[in-house]
Amino acid sequence: MQDDLATLIKKTAAEVRTRDFIWAAGISAGVGAAVAVWLGASGDWRLIVLVWLAFLAALAVRYRFSSGRVWAQPVQRVVETELNAQRAELADLRIARGVAHALPEPLFILDAEGIVEHANRAAEELVGTKSVEGRHFAAVLRAPDVYEASVAVIETGEAQTVDFVTTGSIERSCRAFIARLDPVGEEAGARRSRSLVFIRDLTSERRLEQMRADFIASASHELRTPLASLIGFIETMKGHAKDDPEAQDKFLNIMQSQAERMQRLVSDLMSLSRIELNEHVPPKEIVDIAEIAEDVVESTSPLFEQAGAIVDVINDTQLPTTMRGDLDEIFQAIQNLLDNAVKYGGDPAMIKLHVGRGAPPPLSADGEPGHKAGDSAAQIAARLGVAVEDLVYLQIRDFGPGIERADLPRLTERFYRVNVEHSRKSGGTGLGLAIVKHIVNRHKGGFQIESRLAGGTAFNCCFLGAA
């Protein structure tokens, strides 16, 4: 491109020299004619013509031996100066964009009409799309207060701070700092001001605060009964059962059972709090859900044998069942669902664990359709903007008594139990399905429960498959 520019400059200089030569010849001819008229008959017009021809010859020699480069040099110097200035400006702009892209927090630059001129990678991750620049800010980030503040900042020049919550499957608590960017140098007066929107994600801090409050509330509520029971048995053993070995042995067994229940409760509460704390952070590693399911079944097979449960693992596809996920959390989700199926799937429990791609098999495949609660595979695919075939699923199906329709939507609530007495006898804490729901949310998947009275229950987890 630079060589083409130099050639163009030389060509332009040659054209200028030609025009100069023609003008010089014409002017000198006019001067010669005027002199001839002035001298009249006494003058020798042949001498004037000879002088004019000599002048043209001298001028032609001058143009012939002065290269186009010499004529082009002044213009080329000016052009190169401008190009160097533009290169420096572009280099500064690239550095600025590079710094913006390197920032871990979202950053937007908007023009006076609210159109996004620049968005860094963190901003694209926040809104979940890369097609951000060139779109209106109100359509990119559904936060009306932030957009209104950006308009006010351009008008007043005073920076503003706005707290807002993003919408979507996972809410994020954010704080936006909005400031006006005034044009400088030659742009001043020629361009209108822009606004800079810098967003800080406060989700972790807010979740930590909420986690502490929820943990204290849940622990104080759920631990009250077993603690009261322990205190009562201790007082009894110190009282009239002090010298009764048989009563002491009975009470100690009950106390051990209550202590183990409290231990499980605290463990599940801590696990749920940890998952909720990181729920807004998407996992990055690639895992195979079929392999994890087989590992869970293999590692917990002694518990199935002890309970008399039968678990069949069925891979419904020949395609890969990989996904982007946290191996430990997926392992825990499958383990919780299997544990739930063993406890409530009949005596003995018959369990089928399906993995595959697309939509999980419905209960209607072997009978009447059941009642459902949660997101279907089609709804999950639409939310993620993919085809149903791009999903991977995990289904854990039991053939127990089923669940009433009214209870289905509440199964993932903390401490909700369909049968409180049966749950306590089986050692349940009422947190297993809540943990599963939060794990699925963190993986941007969907969780659906389908049940039919006397026809069993299916727990379906769907995720976006990895390419």
Q: What is the pLDDT of residues 436-445, one digit of tens each?
A: 998 999 898 9
Q: Whole-angstrom Cα distance, residue 465 to residue 467?
A: 7
Pick 323 or 157 by higher pLDDT. 323
Confidence of residue 234 (pLDDT cuts 50, 70, 90): confident
Single residue among 139, 170, 201 that ends a domain in this structure: 201
Q: What pLDDT is attached to residue 288?
A: 94
Same domain, 134 and 234: no
Q: Is residue 241 a contact partner of residue 251, using CB atoms and an 8 Å limit?
A: yes
User: Percent of the chain scored above 70 by pLDDT?
Assistant: 72
My answer on whether 299 and 420 are in the same domain is yes
CB atoms within 10 A of CB 370: 21
Q: Are residues 309 and 457 in the same domain?
A: yes
Question: Do 363 and 268 belong to one domain?
Answer: no
Higher-pLDDT residue of 464 and 275 is 464
Same domain, 161 and 256: no
Q: Is the pLDDT of residue 31 over 50?
A: yes
Choose the most confident range, by mean pLDDT, from 10-24, 67-81, 94-108, 130-144. 130-144
- Return d(Cα 463, Cα 316) in angstroms, integer: 15
Contact indicator for 307, 342 with CB cutoff of 8 Å: yes
Output the pLDDT for position 86.
58
Alpha-carbon gap, residue 116 to 123, rounded angstroms: 11
What share of the chain has pLDDT > 90, as a percent? 18
pTM of the model: 0.55
The CATH number of the domain holding residue 127 is: 3.30.450.20
| Residue 95 belongs to some domain of the structure | no
pLDDT greater than 60 at residue 186: no
Domain of 396? 283-467
What are 295-330's pLDDT values in tens digits? 999 988 888 888 888 899 999 999 999 999 999 999
Residue 309 domain flag: yes
Quick check: 93 pLDDT over 60? no
Alpha carbon distance 431, 62 (integer Å): 97
Q: Looking at the 3D structure of the chain, how many domains does it have?
A: 4
Structure tokens at 27: 């002017």
Q: What's the rounded Cα separation, in Å, for the pair 97 and 86?
A: 16
Domain termination site, one of 281, 309, 343: 281
Mean pLDDT score of the chain: 79
* C-alpha closest to that of 398 among 337, 333, 332: 337
Question: What's the pLDDT band for 188 if we cut at 50, 70, 90?
Answer: very low
Tell me whether residue 97 is in a domain: no
Higher local confidence (pLDDT), 280 or 13: 280
Which of 285, 284, 228, 279 lies closest to 258, judged by CA? 228
Whether 49 and 134 share a structural domain = no
User: Per-residue pLDDT for 88 more than 80?
Assistant: no
- How many residues belong to the chain? 467
More confident residue, 262 or 31: 262
Please compute the mean of the pLDDT values over residues 359-379 and round it to a whole number.
Answer: 85
Span 358-383, average pLDDT:
86
Same domain, 173 and 262: no
β partners of residue 163: 175
The answer as to whether 288 is a domain residue is yes
Question: Does 51 share its domain with 160?
Answer: no
On whether both 126 and 245 belong to a single domain, the answer is no
Q: Is 90 contained in some domain?
A: no
pLDDT of residue 190: 47
> Is residue 87 situated within a structural domain?
no
From 444, 463, 104, select the one nearest 280 (Cα to Cα): 444
- The span from the CA of 299 to the CA of 320, in Å, is 23
Q: Is residue 92 part of a domain?
A: no
Domain CATH number, residue 307: 3.30.565.10
For the cut 90, the answer to whether the pLDDT of residue 10 exceeds it is: no
Q: Are residues 213 and 329 in the same domain?
A: no
Closest to 143 in 3D by CA, of 205, 203, 197: 197
**Domain end call among 169, 201, 233:** 201
Q: 456 with 349, same domain?
A: yes
Mean pLDDT of 358-387: 86
Do 396 and 451 fall within a single domain? yes
The CATH number linked to 243 is 1.10.287.130
In a domain, 89, yes or no: no
Answer with the residue of higher pLDDT: 393 or 263: 393
